[in-house]
Chain A
Amino acid sequence: MVLSACTAKSSGTGDIAVTSTDSACELSSSSASTGTVTFAVANNGSKVTEFYVFGKHNRVLGEVENIGPGVTGKLVVEITEPGTYETACKPGMVGNGIRGTLEVTGEQKSKSDVPADVEQAKARYLDYVRGQLDGLVAQTTTFVAAVKSGDLAAARAQFGLTRTFYERVEPVAESFADLDPAIDMRWDDTEDGKQPFTGFHRIERFLWPPQQSQVGEDGDDISQADLDNAKTDTAALVNVEAEALLGNVTALRDEVRKSDFAFETQSFVKGPQALVDEIAATKVGGEEDRYSRTDLWDFAANIDGSETLIAELQPMITAKNAPLMDKITGQFQAVRDAIGKYRQGDGYVSYDTVTAAQRKELSDKIDALSATLSQVPDLVLGQ
Chain B
Amino acid sequence: MDLALSTPTVATQLFGSGLIGLREGLEAGIVVMILTAFLVKSDRREHLKWLWLGVGAAVAMVVVVFAGIHYGTSTISGLAAEAVAGVSSLIAAAIVTAMVLWMRSAATHISADLRAELSAAVEIGGIAVASLAFFAVGREGLETALLMVGYAENTSGSDWPLLGLLLGIAVAVALTVALYLGAVRISLVKFFTYTGALLVVVAAGILAYGVRALQVVGWLPGIGNVAFDVSAHYDQSSWYGTTLAGLFNLRPDPTVLQVIAWAAYLAVVLTLFLRPRRRAVASSTPAVAVDRTPAS
The stretch that binds A, out of B72-80, B102-110, B192-200, is B72-80
* Contact between chains at B78 and A62 (CB < 8 Å): yes
Size class of the contact patch on chain A: 35 or more
A-side residues, CB < 8 A to B, are 1-9, 19, 21-24, 26, 40, 42-48, 58-76, 91-95, 259-260
Count of A-B contacts judged by CB separation below 8 Å: 150
* Contact between chains at B155 and A72 (CB < 8 Å): yes
B253 partner residues in chain A, CB cutoff 8 A: 94-95
Q: A70-B12, A71-B154, A91-B237 are in contact. List 4 more A-B contacts (CB 8 A).
A: A8-B75, A68-B16, A71-B17, A93-B237
* Contact between chains at B150 and A73 (CB < 8 Å): yes
Q: Could you pull out 26 A-B pairs where Cβ atoms are within 8 angstroms?
A: A2-B77, A3-B80, A5-B83, A6-B75, A6-B80, A7-B76, A8-B75, A21-B3, A24-B3, A26-B4, A43-B16, A44-B4, A44-B6, A44-B8, A47-B16, A48-B17, A48-B237, A58-B223, A58-B224, A59-B218, A60-B79, A60-B217, A68-B16, A70-B160, A93-B237, A93-B251
A74 partner residues in chain B, CB cutoff 8 A: 75, 150, 153
* Contact between chains at A92 and B237 (CB < 8 Å): yes
* Contact between chains at A62 and B77 (CB < 8 Å): yes
Q: For the complex, give the distance between the alpha carbons of A58 and B221 in Å.
A: 11
* Contact between chains at B231 and A95 (CB < 8 Å): yes
Closest-CB distance, A87 to chain B (whole angstroms): 14
B19 partner residues in chain A, CB cutoff 8 A: 48, 68
Q: Does B164 contact A (CB under 8 A)?
A: yes
Q: Does B147 contact A (CB under 8 A)?
A: yes
Known interface pairs A7-B75, A40-B155, A48-B19; A68-B165 also in contact (CB < 8 Å): yes
* Contact between chains at B78 and A64 (CB < 8 Å): yes
Q: For the complex, give the distance between the alpha carbons of A246 and B204 in Å.
A: 68
* Contact between chains at B150 and A67 (CB < 8 Å): yes
A1 partner residues in chain B, CB cutoff 8 A: 218
Known interface pairs A47-B16, A59-B218; A69-B161 also in contact (CB < 8 Å): yes
Closest-CB distance, A128 to chain B (whole angstroms): 21
User: B2-34: contact bitstring with A at CB < 8 Å (1 yes, 0 no)?
Assistant: 011111100011011101100000000000000
A69 partner residues in chain B, CB cutoff 8 A: 8, 12-13, 15-17, 161
Q: Does B158 contact A (CB under 8 A)?
A: yes
* Contact between chains at B82 and A46 (CB < 8 Å): no
Select one of B150, B160, B216, B229 contacting A66, CB under 8 A. B150
* Contact between chains at B74 and A9 (CB < 8 Å): yes
B232-291 contacts to A (CB < 8 Å) = 235-237, 251-253
* Contact between chains at B229 and A6 (CB < 8 Å): no
Q: For the complex, give the distance between the alpha carbons of A26 and B17 in Å.
A: 22
Closest-CB distance, A70 to chain B (whole angstroms): 4
Size class of the contact patch on chain B: 35 or more
Q: Does B156 contact A (CB under 8 A)?
A: yes
* Contact between chains at B13 and A70 (CB < 8 Å): yes
Known interface pairs A7-B76, A40-B155; A92-B8 also in contact (CB < 8 Å): no
Q: For the complex, give the distance between the alpha carbons of A75 and B20 in Å.
A: 19
Q: Does B151 contact A (CB under 8 A)?
A: yes
* Contact between chains at B78 and A75 (CB < 8 Å): yes
Q: For the complex, give the distance between the alpha carbons of A147 and B18 in Å.
A: 69
Closest-CB distance, B75 to chain A (whole angstroms): 5
* Contact between chains at A63 and B82 (CB < 8 Å): yes
B76 partner residues in chain A, CB cutoff 8 A: 5-7
Q: For the complex, give the distance between the alpha carbons of A76 and B160 in Å.
A: 25
Select one of B6, B12, B154, B236 contacting A93, CB under 8 A. B236
Closest-CB distance, A25 to chain B (whole angstroms): 9
Residue ID in chain A nearest B17 by CB atoms: A68
B83 partner residues in chain A, CB cutoff 8 A: 2, 5
A4 partner residues in chain B, CB cutoff 8 A: 77, 80
Residue ID in chain B nearest A4 by CB atoms: B77
A48 partner residues in chain B, CB cutoff 8 A: 16-17, 19-20, 237
Residue ID in chain B nearest A57 by CB atoms: B224
Known interface pairs A9-B74, A60-B218; A94-B229 also in contact (CB < 8 Å): yes
Q: For the complex, give the distance between the alpha carbons of A62 and B82 in Å.
A: 10
Q: For the complex, give the distance between the alpha carbons of A1 and B229 in Å.
A: 30
Q: For the complex, give the distance between the alpha carbons of A159 and B237 in Å.
A: 71
* Contact between chains at B12 and A95 (CB < 8 Å): no
Q: For the complex, give the distance between the alpha carbons of A59 and B224 in Å.
A: 9
Known interface pairs A2-B217, A63-B79, A71-B151; A9-B8 also in contact (CB < 8 Å): no
Known interface pairs A58-B224, A92-B237, A94-B251; A65-B73 also in contact (CB < 8 Å): no
Closest-CB distance, A28 to chain B (whole angstroms): 11
* Contact between chains at A21 and B16 (CB < 8 Å): no
Select one of B7, B12, B77, B252 contacting A94, CB under 8 A. B252
Select one of B75, B82, B164 contacting A68, CB under 8 A. B164
4 cross-chain pairs, A with B, having the tightest CB-CB distances, nearest first: A5-B80, A68-B17, A69-B16, A70-B13
* Contact between chains at B235 and A260 (CB < 8 Å): no
* Contact between chains at A72 and B154 (CB < 8 Å): yes
Q: For the complex, give the distance between the alpha carbons of A246 and B84 in Å.
A: 50
